[in-house]
């Protein structure tokens, strides 16, 4: 019987176990949107293949200055950021770990104070989201966006392609494109947000066009075997109201991506960070349309994760908050050991407290 702790080949990556560290925004980058030594310590703590993640997916990382929507998030859009990320990936690899970067464009989930020149954020639409973002140490309503002109969209696709190339230059083992949680790609996908009348709006074929173009560009640049995608078919995150036919939309999206040979698909089941049964959705039907590794996420306990892999319902299980509080999460799952409690108030911003000071089992017993 396959277990959560067995090795797995995922595209080009030979993973030592099937426990994945989910992407987790922590808002601790240095000025200039630079990854730093504290972040390196955080990732290295979770990189040991014997105790930590078989695969680390980094915090969401904007592909361009316009892609930022939260304070103190690290970027991947200039040479200085590439060099800073390289110090992290080298250290993770020295520990024996595997790490991919999550490529991010927030679209309308941003604030003018975070945009170049104080300009409006870009989106599929000019409608403002009923959502908040993290600015200046606290949360504030997002700014009204402007809809991308049709002629501008190819430039955004190119930003994704260039970011993927930078990811390999920075030493990452691959990338995960963030197509979930109400950010730019999902702002094109869902008819509850996308109100366009051009080739990127209207029916499902048009609304999946941007996603397909992005994935073709990324996979074409670095290979499908090093490319993954995160989707969240029914989450309400960031004012992403349900699509009128989510099942048909996401099944068609995955069908259109089949020729790319993607390494993995990372699915958020239910409401991100909330109820797994938020809205009905047939995830098994979606999986039948995908040939790569199937990664599941959202509220998985040890028992659920063990069952999902043992029954073949999933190839990989991603854990979010449990990895924040437990750098040796895989060892704890293997042993059935208690988990450290999460200090919720210390999730965003700050320094080592609530970030790199959670004890391992070995530290607890010394």
For 285-298, write each residue's pLDDT tens digit: 999 999 999 999 99
Q: Is 300 a known active-site residue? A: no
Per-residue burial over 171-191, b = 16 or more CB atoms within 10 Å of its CB, e = otherwise: bbbbbbbbbbbbbbbbbbbbb
Is the distance from CB of 232 to CB of 181 less than 8 angstroms? Answer: yes
Provide mean pLDDT across the span 237-250: 98
Q: Which of 43, 70, 134, 183 is catalytic?
A: 183
Our separate counts of H helices and E strands in the chain read 12, 14
Residue 1 has pLDDT above 90, yes or no: no
Q: What is the pLDDT of residue 137?
A: 85
Q: Residue 292: which of 215, 235, 236 has the closest Cα?
A: 215
Instruction: Provide the residue ranges of all domains of the chain, joining segments of one domain with +.
Output: 8-364
Question: In Å, how far are 5, 7, 105, 171, 226 from 215, measured between CA atoms?
Answer: 30, 27, 14, 20, 12
| Angle, helices 150-169/209-222, rounded to nearest 10 degrees | 30
Residue 364 has pLDDT above 90, yes or no: no
Q: What is the pLDDT of residue 259?
A: 97
What tokens were used for 66?
A: 């316009």
Residue 184 has pLDDT above 80, yes or no: yes
Residue 41 has pLDDT above 90, yes or no: yes
Q: Which fold has domain 8-364?
A: TIM Barrel (3.20.20)
Please name the residue ranges forming H helices in the chain: 37-45, 79-94, 150-169, 184-189, 204-207, 209-222, 246-257, 283-287, 302-310, 321-325, 329-335, 361-364
What are the tens digits of pLDDT across the range 255-273? Answer: 999 999 999 999 999 999 9
Residue 341 has pLDDT above 90, yes or no: yes
What's the pTM value of the predicted model, to 2 decimals?
Answer: 0.98
Residues 152 and 228: their CA atoms lie apart, in Å, by 25
């Amino acid at each position: 019987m396959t277990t959560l702790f067995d090795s797995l080949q995922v595209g080009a990556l030979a993973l030592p176990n099937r426990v994945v560290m989910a992407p987790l925004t922590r808002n601790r980058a240095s000025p200039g949107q630079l990854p730093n030594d504290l972040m390196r310590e955080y990732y290295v703590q979770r990189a040991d293949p014997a105790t930590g993640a078989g695969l680390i997916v980094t915090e969401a990382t904007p592909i361009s200055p316009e892609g930022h929507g939260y304070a103190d998030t690290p970027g991947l859009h200039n040479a200085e950021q590439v060099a800073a990320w390289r110090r992290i990936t080298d250290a993770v690899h020295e520990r024996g770990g595997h790490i991919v970067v999550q490529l991010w464009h927030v679209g309308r989930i941003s604030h003018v104070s975070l945009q170049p020149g104080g300009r409006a954020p870009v989106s599929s639409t000019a409608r403002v989201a009923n959502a908040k973002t993290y600015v200046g140490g606290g949360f504030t309503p997002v700014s009204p966006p402007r809809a991308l002109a049709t002629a501008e969209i190819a430039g955004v696709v190119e930003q994704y392609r260039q970011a993927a190339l930078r990811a390999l230059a920075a030493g990452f083992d691959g990338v995960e494109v963030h197509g979930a949680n109400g950010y730019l790609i999902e702002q094109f996908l869902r008819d509850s947000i996308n109100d366009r009348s051009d080739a990127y709006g209207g029916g499902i074929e048009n609304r999946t066009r941007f996603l397909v173009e992005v994935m073709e560009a990324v996979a074409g640049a670095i290979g499908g075997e090093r490319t993954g995608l995160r989707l969240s078919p029914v989450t309400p995150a960031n004012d992403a109201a349900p699509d009128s036919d989510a099942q048909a939309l996401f099944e068609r999206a995955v069908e259109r991506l089949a020729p790319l040979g993607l390494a993995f698909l990372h699915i958020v089941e239910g409401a991100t960070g909330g109820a797994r049964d938020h809205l009905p959705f047939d995830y098994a039907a979606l999986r039948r349309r995908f040939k790569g590794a199937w990664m599941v996420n959202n509220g998985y306990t040890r028992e659920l994760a063990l069952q999902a892999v043992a029954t073949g319902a999933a190839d990989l299980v991603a854990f979010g908050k449990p990895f924040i509080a437990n750098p040796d999460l895989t060892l704890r799952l293997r042993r059935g050991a208690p988990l450290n409690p999460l200090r919720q108030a210390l999730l965003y911003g700050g320094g080592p407290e609530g970030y790199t000071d959670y004890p391992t089992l070995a530290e607890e017993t010394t």
